[in-house]
Amino acid sequence: MKSSDSPPILDQCKTIELPKISDPRGNLTFIEGGRHVPFEIRRVYYLYDVPGGAERGGHAHKGLHQLIVAMSGSFDVVLDDGREKKRYHLNRSYNGLYVCPMIWRELDNFSSGSVCMVLASNHYDEDDYYRDYAQYLVAQEIAP
C-alpha cells in the first residue's frame, strides 16, 4: 500500500480521558503505562515558567510515543502530519493528548503559571528528533 493510501497518522492522535477519583478533599488522577496510555512510560518531563507568547516544540519524533497533560493552566498543541494540522486546547489535568511517532508538534498559547507534563515511551535521544520541517516532510514522503 502506498503511504498516500494509508490512513492518516494524525487520526491515531487523540485526547485520552484519564481516571479521576473525585473527592471533597481534592481529586486524584493516575496514569498506568500500557493501560491508560498505549505505551510503557520510560521518561517524564515538564515545561513550566513558560513566558507569555513563548512557543515550544517545533519538531517530530521518529519513534517516540508521548502523552501531553496540562497539569495546571492551559496551552494549545498543534499536531501536523505534513498534510493536515489539528489544534488541541488542553486545560484539564484528567485529560491527556496522545501523540504517536512521526507527528510534528508546536505548543503555544500558554496561560500564566501553566505546567505541561509529558510522559514518553523512551529516554531522551536527540537522534530520535526531526528538528527541520523540510527534512520531516522528506521523511514523510511528502517532499522529494
Phi-psi category of residue 139: left, alpha or beta, with phi > 0 → left and psi -120 to 50 → alpha: alpha
Residues marked active site are found at 59
CA neighbor of 57 nearest in space, from 113, 134, 109: 109
Distance CA 125, CA 144 (A): 26
CB of 43 to ligand TYD, least distance (A): 6
Residue 135 corresponds to which cell in the numbers above? 527534512
- Nearer to ligand TYD by Cβ, of 48 and 124: the residue is 124
- Single residue of 30, 46, 48, 124 touching ligand TYD by CB under 6 A: 124
What is residue 70's DSSP assignment? E
**In sequence order, what are the residues at sequence separation of 6 or more whose Cβ sits closer than 8 angstroms to the Cβ of residue 57?**
77, 105, 106, 107
- Single residue of 42, 56, 86, 92 touching ligand TYD by CB under 6 A: 56
**In sequence order, what are the residues at sequence separation of 6 or more whose Cβ sits closer than 8 angstroms to the Cβ of residue 49?**
none
Window of 29-37, 54-62, 74-82, 86-94 that interacts with ligand TYD by CB under 6 A: 54-62
How many residues of this chain bind ligand TYD (CB under 6 A)? 7
Residue 41 CB coordination number (10 Å): 18
User: Does the footprint of ligand TYD cover residue 30 (CB under 6 A)?
Assistant: no
- Single residue of 33, 38, 57, 101 touching ligand TYD by CB under 6 A: 57
Window of 3-11, 40-48, 88-96, 136-144 that interacts with ligand TYD by CB under 6 A: 40-48
- Nearer to ligand TYD by Cβ, of 23 and 49: the residue is 49
Give me the residues that bind ligand TYD (CB under 6 A), please: 43, 45, 47, 56-57, 59, 124
